[in-house]
Structure 1
Amino acid sequence: MTRAVLKAQKQNLLPDYLRRKASEVISMVFNEYDYETDIQVKTEEAERRGHAAGLSEGTRNARIETARKLMQKNVSVQIIEECTGLSEEEILKVK
């Protein structure tokens, strides 16, 4: 297996990936593949990505709601920009 990875590197196959992950590739081949573990790991990674995306969207929605409330109180767009991190264009859409 090590020879195969070295040969791939010499032939410039996946150069960046093999430079970073050669030992991991060799290790994966020698270890027995376990479908259940693979599915579990992929599920956990997907959940983490989904959770992070949800937090980002939730944060954005909260900033928009804050901008809406500040607009109702006649706070200037410039101050709302500073407080929420939203652009002037995004704030004006809230009106």
Structure 2
Amino acid sequence: MNPAGENSVELKVKVININSDKAHEILDKCGILKEYSLFISMVRKYSDEESAIKKAIKECIEKGILADYLKRKGSEVENMLIAEYSYEEDMQVKQEEARQEGIWQGRREGRQEGIILSADIFQMVKKNPDLTNVQIAENLGCSVEDVESTRKMFSI
């Protein structure tokens, strides 16, 4: 429900994969779109090379793929794609940094929890030396292996 006076529109969008290897029927109906798809395919083909976009533009012009447009606007296309790849690369770097931060934080929290659990096990053994490892694990909600390794570490 919209508050009084507000308008809204519902939009449904059909997404079509126009990668040349997918051979969608729309590519046969729209020559420019097909040529664009081939151009992007060539950019990806050279993606490991520093001058990938320039090579793809040159090859497309030689093969007549978007040739007129690329002759006129090749440098603009190159700049746009460089900016797009730079953005994607930047996003990948940021994602990797966030992943590494998450791993580091998880390890830190795990060590803290391990220290607390070891202290709890140590205290329980000192207060109740007759408890079995299974009983301690059940009381603390941890594994028997946690209890065994802590007892071994502290020789208790």
Verify same fold: TM over 0.5.
yes
Deviation at 1:83, TM superposition (A): 2.4
What residue number does 2:19 align with? 2
Q: Which runs of 5+ in 2 are unaligned?
A: 1-17, 24-43, 45-80
- Which of 93, 106, 118 is 1:64 aligned to? 118
Task: State the shift of 1:91 in Å.
Answer: 4.5
Between structures 1 and 2, the one with greater helix share: 1
Paired residue for 1:42?
96
Give 1:49 shift.
Answer: 1.8
Matched residues in 2 for 1:3 and 1:60: separation? 53
Note the C-alpha offset of 1:63: 0.9
RMSD, aligned α-carbons: 2.9
Q: Quick one: distance in 2 between partners of 1:36 and 1:57?
A: 32
| Percent of aligned pairs sharing the same letter | 12
> How many equivalent pairs are there?
73
Residue 81 of structure 1 pairs with residue 81 of structure 2: no
The answer to whether the 8 Å contact 1:67/1:91 transfers is yes
User: Residue 143 of structure 2: SS of its match in structure 1?
Assistant: coil
| Cα distance in 2 for residues equivalent to 1:38 and 1:92 | 44
Instruction: Tell me which amino acid in the other structure corresponds to 2:98.
Output: E
Structure 1 residues 48 and 66: alpha-carbon distance in aligned structure 2, compared to 1, 3 A threshold: same
Q: Name the counterpart of 1:11.
A: none
Secondary structure of residue in 1 paired with 2:84: coil
- TM-score normalised per structure 2: 0.38
Aligned partner letter, 1:70: M
1:60 maps to a residue whose letter is G
**Contact 2:118 2:150 (8 Å CA) reproduced:** yes
Q: Which has the higher contact order (CA 8 A, sep 6+)?
A: 1
Partner of 1:32: 84
TM-score, reference length from structure 1: 0.56
Q: Which residues in structure 2 correspond to 1:11-22 (within 5 Å)?
A: none
